[in-house]
Amino acid sequence: MSKTLEILKQLASGDKKALARCITIVENELAGYEDILSSLKFNKHVPVIGFTGPPGAGKSTLINALLAALSKKNKKVGVIAIDPTSPFNFGSLLGDRLRMSEHFSDENIFIRSLATRGSLGGLSAKTIEITDVMRASNFDYIFIETVGVGQSEVEVAGLADTTVLVLAPGFGDEVQTIKSGIMEIGDIFVVNKSDSAGAEGFAKTIEQLVQSKKPSTINYQPSTITWIPPVILASATNKKGTEEIIEKIDEHLIKTHNDKKVFLLTEKAYKLIQNYRMKNLDKKKLQAEIEKEMKKKDFNLYKFVK
């Protein structure tokens, strides 16, 4: 326990080596990981910002631009980049997220890639725990970039204080994009690659859709909340819209923080309980048991599962 307290002390001071070590211990469930999690004293006021949207919309490039702007203001940002899992070593396919490589030596920025490990919602099963480890350090913001797998991206809404939905014109059918479930969870909409043809028209379509929805239809917001998600035209490559995005993130955090707190804690608790209950279930053993039981004439899958 003394080792745990020492590493947590280093973590709280902003020691990046201690942070990296804690993340490795928790992610891989090494000895002492439960002590670390149960002893965390994280800053409840550190906001978690989720970035989601379809592949190719430019999420990484946009985050890169935001990191540069925040670092200039001497803001410290921790980034969790959720990457697809390699089928060979179950690690992160994109590794150290090369598109953010210019920030690797920036003292204000810490970037960690996590593998989805089969999670369908764009979030690693360990994302909640890693996020809280980061919140125990001295960051001003935590950014989470999801894989970008479509409708199941709604999971990020249960983890982030503010969800930024990044879209781009020309990526698939407009109607399909609007129909997608991810449209329901955006607190801020960013139409990236705004220098592309049709960007302004696409942004106006999104604006009309957003304004037609009542804030009370979002399950964590009571009818007293009047937040209408803004639609921002941006171009990550030339830094257009960067400052406006940061301003709207801060504005959303101030207006909705208390109302979303219970919702977020409930969602995280549900996910953690789900993970703990499934922890002892070995899929290979399950397959072996099914292979044995299915030979019986009266085999019934539902009785077996129960």
Residue-wise pLDDT tens digits, 67-100: 999 999 999 999 998 875 543 444 444 444 555 6
Does some domain include residue 215?
yes
Question: Is there a single domain that holds both residue 36 and residue 46?
Answer: no
Does some domain include residue 292?
no
Does some domain include residue 285?
no
One-letter amino acid at 54 equals: P
Question: Is there a single domain that holds both residue 80 and residue 222?
Answer: yes
> 112: domain CATH number?
3.40.50.300
Number of domains the chain is built from: 2
pLDDT at residue number 250: 95
Does some domain include residue 24?
yes
pLDDT at residue number 279: 82
Question: Is there a single domain that holds both residue 115 and residue 126?
Answer: yes
pLDDT at residue number 51: 92
Query: CB of 77 within 8 A of CB of 71?
Result: yes
Does some domain include residue 97?
yes
Does some domain include residue 204?
yes
pLDDT at residue number 90: 44
What sign results for the dihedral spanned by CA atoms 180, 184, 186, 191? positive
Question: Is there a single domain that holds both residue 23 and residue 123?
Answer: no
Question: Is there a single domain that holds both residue 101 and residue 6?
Answer: no
pLDDT tens-place string over residues 269-281: 888 888 888 888 8
DSSP H stretches of helix in the chain: 2-12, 16-27, 33-38, 59-72, 127-135, 174-179, 199-211, 242-278, 283-293, 301-305
pLDDT at residue number 35: 92
Q: What H or E segment, with its residue span, contains residue 188? A: strand 188-191
Question: Is there a single domain that holds both residue 37 and residue 155?
Answer: no
Question: Is there a single domain that holds both residue 30 and residue 123?
Answer: no
What values do phi and psi take at 167, rounded to 5? -125, 165
- The first and second tokens of residue 60, run together, are 């990484």
| pTM of this structure | 0.84
Residue 51's nearest CA partner among 109, 123, 119 is 123
Average pLDDT along the chain, 306 residues, taken 10 residues at a time: 86 93 92 92 86 84 93 95 56 48 81 69 73 93 79 69 88 54 81 86 86 55 67 89 96 82 84 84 90 92 91
Does some domain include residue 265?
no
Residue 18 lies in domain: 1-41
**How far is it, in rounded angstroms, from Cα 44 to Cα 132?**
9
Question: Is there a single domain that holds both residue 105 and residue 21?
Answer: no
Question: Is there a single domain that holds both residue 172 and residue 49?
Answer: yes
| 50 DSSP assignment | E
Question: Is there a single domain that holds both residue 170 and residue 21?
Answer: no
Does some domain include residue 290?
no
pLDDT at residue number 178: 57
Report the alpha-carbon angle 242-82-89, nearest 5.
150
Question: Is there a single domain that holds both residue 174 and residue 73?
Answer: yes
Question: Is there a single domain that holds both residue 94 and residue 203?
Answer: yes
